[in-house]
Amino acid sequence: MSTSPAFAIRQADIADIVFLARHRAWMFRDMGHLPSHLEAPLERATAAYLREAMPRREYIAWVAEGGPDPATAIGGAGVQLRPILPRPRPIRDPDGLELGPEALVLNVYVEPDWRRRGVAEALMRRLLADLDARGIRRIVLHASDEGRRLYERLGFVQTNEMRFEPA
Ligand SMILES: CC(C)(COP(=O)(O)OP(=O)(O)OC[C@H]1O[C@@H](n2cnc3c(N)ncnc32)[C@H](O)[C@@H]1OP(=O)(O)O)[C@@H](O)C(=O)NCCC(=O)NCCS
């Protein structure tokens, strides 16, 4: 477990699903993307997904604990590991192929009272170190306005992804 004076980061387990699901709903709420009547349904649906995906190691999460009760999760981050079709590696490794899996970073969330103390950066650095240790090199995410500077600081760059928006 890595520590700072005020909080600690650890890998999550299924006992943390209640926090992980709540934080996902709060993340969308804080980004202004979730009407209040959908908070509870999103939390329930997320918990149901995580109960399946975490034991399969398809979803891996980390939590930050802090405050007077050390078991209180005050933030978290996760990755969904997805198979990819083999593809050439980017310029840095022109002779190699990328075989996957790809890690999609999701659910980066820190409770409002704990923001701007480096919690998200510590979560992300731990996530990146653990993925590196697993040999996972392809790591993608969709940044919120609030998160963008953090990800840029960690080395994430803009890509050319597009999304279809049905009329
Ligand atoms: C985005 C979010 C996860 C950031 O969490 P956080 O713990 O506040 O992030 P950090 O503390 O690591 O970094 C945030 C800022 O605080 C600054 N900071 C870090 N430690 C600090 C300290 N001790 N004193 C003052 N500032 C500090 C960082 O430099 C950074 O500044 P910048 O935004 O100008 O680059 C959080 O605001 C959040 O949950 N937002 C709502 C949901 C969301 O948008 N999630 C991201 C989805 S992609």
Going along the chain from its start, the domains and CATH numbers come out as 7-153 (3.40.630.30)
Q: Is 24 in the pocket of ligand 1 (CB under 6 A)?
A: no
166 exposure class (CB count in 10 Å sphere: 0-12, 13-18, 19+): exposed
Query: What is the percent of the chain where pLDDT is above 90?
Result: 84
Q: Is 125 in the pocket of ligand 1 (CB under 6 A)?
A: no
The pLDDT tens digits of the residues spanning 4-21 come to 458 999 999 999 999 999
Give the pLDDT of residue 3: 47
Nearest-atom number in ligand 1 for the CA of 145 is 44
Q: Is 150 in the pocket of ligand 1 (CB under 6 A)?
A: yes
7-11 and 2-3 strand pairing:
antiparallel
- Is 154:124 a contact under the CB 8 Å cutoff? yes
- Among residues 92, 114, 105, 111, the alpha carbon closest in space to that of 148 is found at 105
Cα of 25 vs its chain's centroid, Å: 13
Q: Is 143 in the pocket of ligand 1 (CB under 6 A)?
A: yes
Q: Is 115 in the pocket of ligand 1 (CB under 6 A)?
A: yes
Nearest-atom number in ligand 1 for the CA of 144 is 48
H-only helix segments in the chain: 17-30, 39-53, 119-133, 148-154
- Full strand arrangement of the beta sheet holding 138-140: 2-3, 7-11, 59-66, 73-82, 102-110, 138-140
- Token reading at 43: 């939390």
Residue of 27, 110, 123, 124 to mutate, ligand 1, most atoms within 8 A of C-beta:
110
Decide if pLDDT at 162 tops 60: yes
Q: Is 23 in the pocket of ligand 1 (CB under 6 A)?
A: no
The pLDDT tens digits of the residues spanning 69-121 come to 777 899 999 999 999 999 988 666 667 899 999 999 999 999 999 999 999 99
Q: The pTM is what?
A: 0.94
The pLDDT tens digits of the residues spanning 26-53 come to 999 999 999 999 999 999 999 999 999 9
Give the pLDDT of residue 5: 53
The pLDDT tens digits of the residues spanning 110-145 come to 999 999 999 999 999 999 999 999 999 899 999 999
